[in-house]
Structure 1
Amino acid sequence: MSSLNSSISSQVRFLQRQVATLLLYQDIFNDEIGQEFLNLLETFHQSEASILNCLKAYGTWFKVQAKHRQSWQEHLITQILRADNPFTQQAQQIPFQQLSPVLVEAAKQDLKILQTLYQCNGEKVGSWLRTVAQLSENPIIWQPQVKPLGKIEELPLRSQLVTLENWSEALESLADHYHKFGIGLFAAAEAFRWHKSQLVKIDYPDPVHLSQLVGYETQRDILLKNTEILLAGYPALNVLLYGSRGTGKSSLIKALLHQYSDRSLRLIEVAKSHLNDLPLVVEQLRGVPQKFIIFVDDLSFEEDDDAFKALKVVLEGNLTARPQNVVVYATSNRRHLIREYFEDRPSPKDQDEVHVWDTVQEKLSFSDRFGLTLTFEPADQNTYLNMVQHLASQAGIDLSPEDLQFRALQWATRHNGRSGRTARQFIDFLAAELVVFRK
């Protein structure tokens, strides 16, 4: 191996030792870009017979950067800002001045190491590949985005790390960032679902906004006030949104995410079939700075369904206090959530249960365990037409009020009746029809 290649191999081995020396931030290499970066380093100090491996490893590293639309340097900073480790976990919960001095020193050392790895940018890696593989020119390099990536709250720290000569000097700012905006999964996304006993982020949440919803303003205002109380750090009430199908109950809850995500609101969807896991979900949210709405859609229970007991624990609490940063917002088409039959009602011939009325009352009163119940009545004609007019205005539909009203009423008659959902479906179809079939 030439002395030049030996120099490259020596630099690579130094970086590998640096990675191995990390005390807290090792997990930042667990994703695709990090893993392929480590694999690329491994191929560089092998024998000349592995030139093809170097070329392949570089190609894979380039591909995963392109896939995630992040350069290695952008990605490394993102991983630091969202890292989940003992330092970030404690910084999230207590002030920087109260952190263990040993933990602080370990984090400072790691930041110095990570800055060394940050300086191994695409240009340097490309020049290594050109030398090792004897290429006539440098390979194409995945460049950082012109527009800074990441969330708005991350931009000041990103800029600071890019320009700072010694990253360890930014440790207190980092700790403050973790304390305000959280770490890990909750720092990376706003919407989640509970799937296979874990939280999974939703990359493309429903884009519905409050401005798209008209009608039921009283219910909307009450829900907004309750959510504002949650965001302010006070005990908010669990809410049951009950009423006719298509009235916008679920859309109203999902629209809260877009209204308040910049104030650290997070939405977690838990399917009715996973309600037994609800206490486990809640415990994962305790002690983090974000505020959470657990969203349960189309809630109802059969007679022999025990899942309502898990929901009851979350609604009413047990010996363990319910976290103040968590509420449950559920929708249902049924006022009484547990299905009841006439045969359930006690009669003189009942011999099986002594206190039968107690069982009946438990079923009927379950919905009362929500602090707020918001009722959504079926839309009358005027409400339906107001919805249509509002959505048509937002969609830029240019029809006379008479023509729009005539078509909207026809649509409701032929399809699903008058509701917010019907109005939305009508406007979506009409907007497309006017464009596609315009003569």
Structure 2
Amino acid sequence: MEQEEKIKLYLDSLCVYKGIFKEKVGDKFNTLVDKISIDSSFGECIVAYNEFTYSLFSVSKDLSFKEGIVDEMLLNSNPFNVMVEGSEEVAPFIIQGIKAELECLGKIALVNSTTIKEIFISKFGENQLVKKRIDSLLHWGINNIDYIAKKDSPFEKIKLLLMNSNEWASCTDDIVDFHKKNGTGRVTAYGAFVWERYDNDQVGHLREIKEPDPVRLSNLIGYESQKKEIISNTKQFLMGAPANNLLLYGARGTGKSSTVKAILNEYSNQGLRLIEVDKKQLSDFTRIIRLLKNKKQKFIIFVDDLVFDENEDSYSALKTILEGKVENRPSNIIIYATTNRRHLVSEKFSDRDDVNSKDTMEEKLSLADRFGITISFFTPNQKEFLIIVDGIVNERGLIVDEGELHREALKWEKWHNGRSPRSANQFVDWLQGMQMSGE
């Protein structure tokens, strides 16, 4: 059997994992195999080759076809891994079928540009110019370097196993165990997501953030009692114990958003995930619940910079969510929000003169009260500001006279953005830049 016939047979033998080759890079590969398997012209084959290579390049800087298949196999939901996610036992005949599919999938993953070029040569290689054009095509899928896990996570461990194996059928039990413990979908690999819905998208979707803010709690100087309370609530949530929705209130630059992101980085290895939702899309909360409620992970729905205008639709949506009138919020979802307004709703002067001003103010306060815990991030005084500056300088290992440091820091806060952790970081960035440039 010819090489192209074998590859085509492996592709046609797939059932559960067939979806890998129906979209994105997999679809381009499928088209390439179709072109070389039928009586297509050299030009058609070259176009298919280059379109596949371009598609692969857009998702893999190493042009690793094998890695692309592994990612799609583990991250995309299919009937098999969805069944494993919600089932204790898998029938033996299903395991046997999956082993057969994994054997085929493993063979496909070994295909590289050398394989395809050999097929091109056998079909079109009589002419020296054609041979030269074939040889000049961009290489892909040729990687003799063992894969190195990017971090210590269940996803990276199973990916490491598959990347360093050429016998995927022997990894069946490991794959089943991975999906049983971690579930399915992109939440098994990524910690942070953004909920997106464009004008032409009536459903909305989660987009993973591949390089989230790496800030850690140790990087955030000060506000120890606030961090302690957030950590305690988050640990209760991860343990499955009752936990509260949190409202982080305070001036801009005091570290509210950074603290939430740092919490994710501290506990993502325990299954914590963060989904940032714009306040304008809070009406999608029911849809988000349905996507997440059966997942193995725990999710913080993060709404940043929360403030509403009068009669804004999203105000009613959040109120309904916090009251529990929307579809019951499952135990693996919690809401953390930040705001620089205690009332959450922009206050108008006319509210104070209204005959029912007390009722109006009570209504505006009631939304904040529906969060179980409100944590205040106050603007630091001068002493606290200098402690934050000292902490950042020490963390970065900078050597500077303390007296000079404090004098320059106080000048900075007067001339620039006031006293806040953000301003302290900006000052130390300036100081470090000055030191590095020798000024």
- What is the TM-score of this pair, normalised by structure 2? 0.86
1:268 maps to which residue?
A: 275
2:44 maps to which residue?
A: 53
2:128 maps to which residue?
A: none
Aligned partners of 1:55 and 1:133 also within 8 Å: no
CA distance in 2 between partners of 1:148 and 1:347 (Å): 65
CA distance in 2 between partners of 1:101 and 1:368 (Å): 53
CA distance in 1 between partners of 2:321 and 2:49 (Å): 50
1:90–1:212 Cα change, 3 Å: same
1:253–1:347 Cα change, 3 Å: closer
1:340–1:66 Cα change, 3 Å: closer
Aligned partners of 1:25 and 1:83 also within 8 Å: no
CA distance in 2 between partners of 1:44 and 1:409 (Å): 70
2:86 maps to which residue?
A: 93
CA distance in 1 between partners of 2:354 and 2:275 (Å): 43
Aligned partners of 1:194 and 1:270 also within 8 Å: yes
1:107 maps to which residue?
A: 98
Where do residues 64-143 of structure 1 align in structure 2 (5 Å cutoff)?
64-67=55-58, 68=60, 69-95=62-88, 97=89, 99=90, 104=95, 106-134=97-125, 135=131, 140-143=139-142
Does residue 1:181 correspond to 2:175, yes or no?
no
Aligned partners of 1:25 and 1:85 also within 8 Å: yes
Aligned partners of 2:63 and 2:140 also within 8 Å: no
1:156–1:225 Cα change, 3 Å: same
CA distance in 2 between partners of 1:77 and 1:180 (Å): 18
CA distance in 1 between partners of 2:33 and 2:431 (Å): 56
1:163–1:379 Cα change, 3 Å: closer
1:347–1:260 Cα change, 3 Å: closer
1:129–1:141 Cα change, 3 Å: farther
1:225–1:32 Cα change, 3 Å: same
CA distance in 1 between partners of 2:4 and 2:327 (Å): 51
SS in 2 for 1:331: strand
CA distance in 2 between partners of 1:316 and 1:93 (Å): 30
1:141–1:308 Cα change, 3 Å: closer
Aligned partners of 1:72 and 1:122 also within 8 Å: no
Residue identity matched to 1:40? L
Aligned partners of 2:146 and 2:164 also within 8 Å: no
Q: How far did 1:31 drift?
A: 4.7
2:426 maps to which residue?
A: 425
Residue identity matched to 2:257? S
For 1:316-351, what per-residue CA distance to the aligned partner results, in whole angstroms no more than 9, with x for missing partners?
313742111111110011111123445436866x7x
CA distance in 2 between partners of 1:71 and 1:257 (Å): 30
Q: How far did 1:159 drift?
A: 5.1
Residue identity matched to 2:264? L
Q: How far did 1:23 drift?
A: 2.3
Q: How far did 1:173 drift?
A: 2.3
Greater CA drift, 334-343 or 190-199: 334-343
SS in 1 for 2:41: helix
For 1:270-292, what per-residue CA distance to the aligned partner results, in whole angstroms no more than 9, with x for missing partners?
11222222232222111101111
CA distance in 2 between partners of 1:329 and 1:303 (Å): 22
Q: How far did 1:369 drift?
A: 0.9
Residue identity matched to 1:265? L
1:305 maps to which residue?
A: 312
Where do residues 317-336 of structure 1 align in structure 2 (5 Å cutoff)?
317-318=324-325, 320-336=327-343
Greater CA drift, 143-152 or 229-238: 143-152
Residue identity matched to 2:67? E
1:3 maps to which residue?
A: none
2:148 maps to which residue?
A: 148
Aligned partners of 2:257 and 2:338 also within 8 Å: yes
Q: How far did 1:366 drift?
A: 1.2
Aligned-residue CA RMSD (Å) = 2.8
> Out of 199, 204, 209, which is 2:211 matched to?
204
Residue identity matched to 2:363? E
Aligned partners of 2:21 and 2:27 also within 8 Å: yes
SS in 2 for 1:206: coil
SS in 2 for 1:257: helix
Unaligned runs of 5+ in 2: 126-130, 198-203
1:240 maps to which residue?
A: 247
Q: How far did 1:164 drift?
A: 6.4
1:292 maps to which residue?
A: 299
2:363 maps to which residue?
A: 362
Identical pairs, percent: 34
Residue identity matched to 1:148? I
1:101–1:368 Cα change, 3 Å: farther
> Out of 230, 237, 258, which is 2:237 matched to?
230
1:82–1:51 Cα change, 3 Å: same
Q: How many residues align?
A: 421
For 1:244-288, what per-residue CA distance to the aligned partner results, in whole angstroms no more than 9, with x for missing partners?
221111111111222122222211111122222223222211110
Unaligned runs of 5+ in 1: 1-6, 351-355
CA distance in 1 between partners of 2:172 and 2:338 (Å): 44
Q: How far did 1:405 drift?
A: 0.6
Aligned partners of 1:346 and 1:357 also within 8 Å: no
Residue identity matched to 1:297? D
Residue identity matched to 1:110? E
CA distance in 2 between partners of 1:369 and 1:100 (Å): 47
1:295–1:117 Cα change, 3 Å: same
Aligned partners of 2:149 and 2:157 also within 8 Å: no
1:385 maps to which residue?
A: 386
Aligned partners of 2:56 and 2:65 also within 8 Å: yes
